[in-house]
Amino acid sequence: MSQALTLAVDGGIAVITFDLPNEPVNKFSAAVIAEFDAILTRIDTDASIKAAVLISGKPDNFIAGADIDAFLEFKSAKDAELASAAGHKAMERIERSRAPIVAAINGACLGGGLEASLACAYRIASDNPKTVLGLPETQLGLIPGAGGTQRLPRVVGLQAALDMILTAKNVRARKALQIGLVDELVHPSILREVAVQRAREIASGSRRHEEKKHGAKEVVLEDNPIGRAVVFRQAREMTLKKTRGNYPALLAALDAVAAGYHGTREQGFAEEARLFGEMSATAVSNQLIFLFYATTALKKDSGIADASVKPLPVKQIGVLGTGFMGAGIAAVSVMQNVPVRFKDTKHEQVGRGLAAVRDVLKDRLVKRQITKQQFDDQFSLVSGTVEYTGFGSVPLVIEAVFEDLAVKHQVLAELEPKLPAHAIFASNTSTIPIAKIAAGSKRPERVVGMHFFSPVHKMPLLEVIVTPQTAPEVTATVVAFGRKLGKTVIVVNDAPGFFANRILAPYINEAGRMLDEGVPVDVIDRALLAFGFPVGPVTLLDEVGLDVAGKSGAVMSAAFGDRVKPSAALGKLIASGRLGRKGKKGFYLYDERGKKGGVDESVYAIIGAPQRQASSPALVQEIQERCALAMVNEAVRCLDEGIVRQPRDGDIGAVFGIGFPPFRGGPFRYADTLGAAELVKRLQALDVQYPGRFVPSARLVTMASDGTRFYPATGKPVG
C-alpha cells in the first residue's frame, strides 16, 4: 500500500506532506494515524530536526477529517470511546513533539484536520476562498472526538468555540485570523515557504504563538466560573429552544466543553471520549450519517444510466422572469461566475429583478462571505433585457414566468426560434407537468424541469424533472449545472407535483382538515415542530402564499382526487382575500416588515370551525401521525410509480426540499424505523377514522407481509 505521508528534511526543518493516494481529500484512518506515529517517532529521535511543517499535497484540501467508514465498524459505544481515546493520543503526540510543528493550511481543514491543527505549535492559513476551518461533527449526530471540545475553547475563547461546535459552521480564513484560530494569513503561493520560515523561527525561539487577548466581555463571561456558568446556561437554553431536544449531540458537546473547565485536563479529554462513544450509538447519529453517505453518493450520480453520455458545457444562461424565483436563480448563477441574461416584459420588472439579485449578493458582502471586488464582479455578470437579444448563443434557458401553461407556451414559442438547436429549455414550474410544457415545443427532447426551492440562494435542493422524451444529454447537462450552482440534485420522473410537492400535499392537506375540525392553528404547528419539521404546516402556508397554495392544491386534487382535496378552511381564507405573509395577513399576524407575530384570532370566525380543541398529548400524537404518515405513504406511492428512482433520492428530496426532520433520515428511513408492519397497522387504523385518505400503498402492504425494508439493516447505508 502506498503511503499517505512523506517526510523531507531540509536545513533542520522536516516537511510532512499528507497526500492520501487515490482519494480527492485527505482523511484520518487507523493506517494514516500509524504513519503519523512513525514519522513523529523519527522526528523525536532525530536531533538534527529542529521543527516541522504539516502541509497537504492536495490542491484545495488540507485534511477533511476522519474516514467516516470507520464509524460503521463501531459495535458499541465503548468501541467509539476507545477510538476517541486513540485520537487523543495521536493529537497529544503532535502537541508534545520535541520539534514544534507548524500547520500550513490550504483548503478545507475540518473535523480531525482542525483538531490536528489545534495541537500544532503554530497555524498559518492561505488567503484562499476554499480555505475554511470547522468542526462539523454535530451534523453527524456526534461531537468532536479528537480533542476539539478541549483545545478549541483554549485557543479562540469559550463563546467562539461554542458557536463553531454547536452550529457546525465553517470559518473562513480571514475570520479564523480575527478570532485567533490561525496565527497568520498568507497568499497560497508562498504558504510552504512562509511555513518553513516560521518553523525555523519557532525552533530558534524568535517567534511563538501569541495567545488571543481577551477584551472586557471575555473577561466578564469567560475568565471566571460565574461568567462561564452564564454562557453555558444561555447556550443550553438556546440549543433546547432551537432543537426541542431532538439532537442530543449538541447537549453532549456542551457537557464535554464544560468538563474541560470543571475538572483536570485528563478528565476533560476522558469525558469527551465517553460522550463521543455515547453519541455514536444513538439512532440520531445513525440517520445523520446515512444522509452524509446519501448526499455523497448522489454527487457521483449523473442521473442517467448511460455513463458514456457527457454533459454539455454551460458557460452562460438565460433566465426568463425576473420575479422572486427568477432573481434567485440568477443570483446563485452569478455567484458561480456564470453570466446571466435576464428577460422580462417591462423595464421596471427587469430593474426590480436586478435589484433583487443585488440584494442577495449584498447580504453576502455584509456577512463578509465575499469581498467588495467579488460583489462587483458577480453583479456585473447579470444583464437585463425586454427583448430576446443576447439569447442567440445561450446553451440553457431557465423559465420562471407566471405559473400558467398558456403563458409558458407563449414564451417558449417566442424564444425557441431564437435559440441554437442544441439549447435546453428548462422550466422552474412547481406544479405543471413538464410533458404539457414540452408539448408546445418543436424540440420536446430538449425541454426539462428544473424545480428550484424558495428562497433559491438558501434552499439546497434542485429537482430535475424528465419526461420519456427528454434526451439523456439534456438530463446530464442540467444535473451537472445544478451541482455547479452548489445544489443537491435529484432526478425525478414527470408527474403532477413531481416528488417534493407531491408528498407535501397530503401533509399540508391533513393539517387543513384538522383546521376544519377545530384544532387551533398554533397547536397544529407546535405539534409538527416537536416532530422535527423546521416550520409548522400552517406557517408554511402563510410563507408560500395562500393563493399559491390554493392553485397548487387544485392541481393536486385534480390529479389525485379526494385523498388530497384542499381543506375548506384554506379555501375560505383565500376567498376572504388573505395572501399570507406577503400580504401581511394570513393565519398569523405580520408587522409592516413582514415579521411574524401570533395567530390572527379573527381567522376562526372566517373558517367557521365547529369547535376549539385544547392541546393534549393525545392530540399532539394524532396531529403528528396524520400529517407525517400521510407524507410517508405518499412517498412510497411515488416509488411504486417510478417518480423517484430509489429510496435514497426520496429521502434526500424530502429532507433538503421540504424539511423532513434530518434526525429521522427521511420518509423511507422513517418507515424502516417504524417497520412496515407497524406503519401499515397505523395507516389502517387512521383509514378507519378517515376513509380513503390513509389506504396503505401496495408496496408497504407487501413489505409488511414479507418483513422487508427499504435499506439494509447493517453496513454502509447507501452508495
Catalytic site includes residue 463: yes
Do residues 657 and 463 make contact, with C-beta atoms less than 8 angstroms apart?
Answer: yes
Instruction: Say which of 399, 463, 473, 510 is annotated catalytic.
Output: 463
| List of long-range contacts for 405-408, beta carbons under 8 Å, 24+ apart | 405/432, 405/436, 405/437, 408/432, 408/437, 408/440
How far, CA to CA in Å, does 222 sit from each of 156, 237, 651?
A: 11, 18, 42
Read off the DSSP letter of residue 5: E
Residue with cell 472586557: 216
Do residues 570 and 608 make contact, with C-beta atoms less than 8 angstroms apart?
Answer: no
CA geometry: angle at 679 spanning 676 and 680, to 5°? Answer: 85
**Cell digits for 158?**
469559550
How distant is the alpha carbon of residue 522 from its chain centre? 27
Bridge partner list, 408: none
Do residues 669 and 710 make contact, with C-beta atoms less than 8 angstroms apart?
Answer: yes
CA geometry: angle at 111 spanning 165 and 233, to 5°? Answer: 15
User: Any idea of the CA torsion for 201, 206, 211, 212, to the nearest 10 degrees?
Assistant: -80
Amino acid present at 585: K
Q: Which residues contact 93 (CB under 8 A, 6 or more apart)?
A: 36, 37, 40
Respond yes or no on whether the N-terminal peptide bond of residue 248 is cis (omega within 30° of 0).
no
Q: Which of 57, 60, 59, 80 is nearest to 68 (CA)?
A: 80
* C-alpha R_g of the chain: 28
Q: How do strand 447-452 and strand 424-427 relate by DSSP bridges?
A: parallel
CB-based burial, 352-362: b 16+ in 10 Å, e otherwise: bbbebbbebbe
Assign 3-class secondary structure to 407-452.
HHHHHHHHHHHHCCCCCEEEECCCCCCHHHHHCCCCCHHHEEEEEE
User: DSSP letter string over 177-198?
Assistant: HHHTSSSEEE-GGGHHHHHHHH
**Ranges assigned E (strand) in 106-175:** 108-110, 122-126, 132-134, 171-172
Task: Point out the residues that are catalytic.
Answer: 463
